[in-house]
Amino acid sequence: MSELNPDPGAATADPDCLDALNALAAKLPLAAVLSGRGVRDLESHVGLEGVWYGGNHGAEYIRDGVYEVVPGANAARASLESVLEHVKNRAADPAFIWEDKGFSISVHYRGAADAILAKKELQAGIDSAPHMESLEVFWGNHILEVRGRTGLNKGHAVRKLIDEFSLDSAVFIGDDTTDIDGMRAVSEVRAAGELEAVGIAVARPESPAELIEFADYTVSNVGEVAKFMRWLVSVA
């Protein structure tokens, strides 16, 4: 719901998307935002009541103001701390933006002068880091993310929401590598006849091919996401 920004802290949600999301939350059994951000950071960026927030790809939630952590989500915390220190010591580009989100760590390198070299430096740090056997590595759009091998991802979160709210239909919108799990889950539950579900990918030149593969439809930018959400409000 926001345009890409070299500084994740400066990214802001699109006002039209927020208006549509607010309207959907008032009309539907569930309106949720799933993100790699920490859930409290996510809630502060979106700032809407009546919306279900899932942070760290579904490791933690805020619902009706109540904070929840999925059991086992923090099992790899010690390994994450060790890897963060190790990679920081070996990839010291001042343009890197480091995020320790508790259940995961991220490094944003969009601001680096040479993105290819920056990625190589980060990869070298990961390759030599200790305790990687308990962690998973994800490369997104100018971002490196490391999190525990907990099985918690946006696909798990999608299935959790479907089960907890007994949904008979769902729409999932995503734009990057960590959204692939959610897009795949939507495809699988529909194929299994569990419910009607549609996956929509925001297709940019740098979008991962697998995301587009699992999507049913694509849009080109955040403005088109807002347009689709407004249409959804009109038919909900």
174: helix, strand or coil: strand
Tokens linked to 187: 């495809």
- Per cent of the chain over pLDDT 70 is 97
62-78: pLDDT as tens digits: 998 999 999 999 999 99
112-121: pLDDT as tens digits: 999 999 999 9
DSSP state of 134: G
What is the mean predicted confidence (pLDDT) over 88-92?
92
146-203: pLDDT as tens digits: 999 999 999 999 999 999 999 999 999 999 999 999 999 999 999 999 999 999 999 9
Q: What is the pLDDT of residue 135?
A: 97
Amino acid letter for position 80: L
Tokens linked to 73: 């989500």
24-72: pLDDT as tens digits: 999 999 999 999 999 999 999 999 999 999 999 999 999 989 999 999 9
Task: Walk across the sheet containing 135-140 and list its strands.
Answer: 97-100, 104-108, 143-148, 135-140
- Per cent of the chain over pLDDT 90 is 92
Q: What is the pLDDT of residue 15?
A: 95
Q: Cα separation of 33 and 53, whole Å?
A: 5
118: helix, strand or coil: helix
Q: What is the pLDDT of residue 205?
A: 86
Indicate whether 17 pLDDT > 70.
Answer: yes
At 96, phi and psi to the nearest 5?
-70, 140
Domains, in order of start, for the chain: 8-72+152-235 (3.40.50.1000), 77-148 (3.30.70.1020)
